[in-house]
């Protein structure tokens, strides 16, 4: 892998290799001393132009636990706040000789652009409404472990993943649809018509506006955040009506099969798309997803930086 910009960059063999190595990396999380020498001498820069709790801190831990040098650069506190462009910021950090840029940006396509300017490897840590490939990897990792805990082989092929909520503004759904297709899962998308992505008819999914009808089919139900900050205008009449139609309420928990699990990439709007009863229930994998984020990002960093290859020549 030269970069990780999209879940489409991950074929089945690569996905399986990343998830399998993440299982080994996950064992490190249980140890009192969390350090491997695998990326000693490598430098990773977290370049976050948009807020994050989970992704930024887990990439930082992942790099540090693999002995890489990791620094964080955010728009606030950097020369971006003085008007420096994305290109100049990327070229500036890249000129220092770093090995990887982990980029989050509100503009879809920003990491792709950066990969065309930088010699460092680029990882998309979430770009606008486009993609969030490491989120899809950690979701798949969490689902596999859940299925194994039920006594199965952990394979997602033939399983049904129901993804519910603000799909229009979600980069998580786009990466999950791509990766779950690679892994052979059936994906059902549920949202009001106003929050169904344009072009969804060409996606490898089925769609529904009726959450109650779909929930009993789910092996996994993934609730997505209502992204009010990306909305201009009314996508639903009131928050209360959204919850009545599309929230995972206490009453709806009774529609799930006993072995079905609940995911949410976070951050959550408790009481809007997901009730506290659901988020904190025994079926919830939400904190498992957070823990998986470190193991999966260690694996991704190792796959990108673990070899002996030098930085690419000047791509400009």
Residue 237 or 267 with smaller CB distance to ligand CP:
267
Q: Which stretch binds ligand CP (CB under 6 A): 76-84, 187-195, 232-240, 265-273?
A: 265-273
Query: How many residues in the shown chain lie near ligand CP by CB under 6 A?
Result: 10
Least separation in angstroms between residue 30's CB and ligand CP is 23
Which x/- pattern, by CB under 6 A, does the window 207-246 give for ligand CP?
----------------------------------------
**Interface residue with ligand CP, options 109, 239, 245, 266 (CB under 6 A):** 266
Least separation in angstroms between residue 6's CB and ligand CP is 16
Per-residue three-class SS string for 276-287:
HHHHCCCCECHH
> How crowded is the C-beta side of 99, counted as CA atoms within 13 Å?
20
Which x/- pattern, by CB under 6 A, does the window 47-66 give for ligand CP?
-----xxxx-----------
The answer to the question of residue 126 lying near ligand CP (CB under 6 A) is yes
**Interface residue with ligand CP, options 184, 216, 237, 267 (CB under 6 A):** 267
Do the Cβ atoms of 80 and 104 come closer than 8 Å? no
Least separation in angstroms between residue 55's CB and ligand CP is 3
Residues 6+ apart with CB under 8 A from 118: 90, 91, 94, 101, 315
Residue 143 or 214 with smaller CB distance to ligand CP:
143
The answer to the question of residue 194 lying near ligand CP (CB under 6 A) is no
- Beginning with the edge strand found earlier in the chain, give each strand of the sheet holding 220-223 in spatial order: 206-208, 186-190, 160-164, 220-223, 261-263
Residue 47 or 214 with smaller CB distance to ligand CP:
47
Least separation in angstroms between residue 126's CB and ligand CP is 5
Rg (CA), the chain: 19
Q: Which stretch binds ligand CP (CB under 6 A): 5-13, 21-29, 200-208, 260-268?
A: 260-268
Least separation in angstroms between residue 306's CB and ligand CP is 24
Q: Scanning residues 130 to 159, which ones bind ligand CP (CB under 6 A)?
A: 132, 135
The answer to the question of residue 176 lying near ligand CP (CB under 6 A) is no
The answer to the question of residue 34 lying near ligand CP (CB under 6 A) is no
Residue 46 or 275 with smaller CB distance to ligand CP:
46
Residues that bind ligand CP (CB under 6 A): 52-55, 126, 132, 135, 265-267
């Amino acid at each position: 892998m030269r970069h990780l910009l999209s879940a489409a960059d991950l074929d089945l063999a690569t996905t399986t290799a990343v998830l399998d190595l993440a299982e080994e990396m996950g064992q490190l999380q249980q140890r009192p001393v969390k350090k491997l020498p695998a990326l000693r001498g490598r430098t990773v820069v977290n370049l976050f132009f948009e807020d994050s709790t989970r992704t930024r801190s887990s990439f930082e831990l992942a790099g540090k636990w693999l002995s890489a040098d990791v620094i964080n650069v955010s728009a606030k506190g950097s020369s971006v706040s003085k008007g420096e462009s994305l290109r100049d910021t990327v070229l500036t950090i890249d000129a220092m000789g770093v090995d990887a840029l982990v980029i989050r940006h509100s503009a879809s396509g920003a990491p792709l652009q950066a990969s065309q300017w930088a010699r460092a490897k680029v990882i998309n840590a979430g770009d606008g409404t486009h993609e969030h490939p490491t989120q899809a990897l950690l979701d798949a990792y969490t689902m596999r472990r859940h299925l194994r805990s039920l006594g199965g082989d952990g394979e997602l092929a033939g399983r049904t993943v129901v993804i519910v909520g603000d799909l229009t503004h979600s980069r998580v759904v786009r990466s999950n649809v791509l990766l779950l297709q690679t892994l052979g899962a059936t994906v059902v998308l549920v949202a009001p018509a106003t929050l169904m992505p344009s072009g969804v008819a060409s996606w490898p999914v089925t769609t529904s506006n009726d959450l109650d009808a779909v929930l009993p089919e789910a092996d996994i139900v993934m609730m997505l955040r209502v992204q009010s900050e990306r909305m201009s205008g009314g996508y639903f009449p009131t928050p209360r009506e959204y919850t009545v139609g599309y929230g995972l309420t206490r009453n709806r928990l009774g529609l799930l099969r006993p072995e079905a699990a609940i995911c949410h990439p976070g951050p959550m709007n408790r009481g809007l798309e997901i009730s506290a009863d659901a988020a904190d229930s025994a079926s919830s994998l939400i904190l498992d997803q957070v823990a998986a984020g470190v193991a999966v990002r260690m694996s991704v960093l190792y796959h990108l930086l673990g070899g002996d290859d030098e930085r690419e020549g000047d791509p400009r």
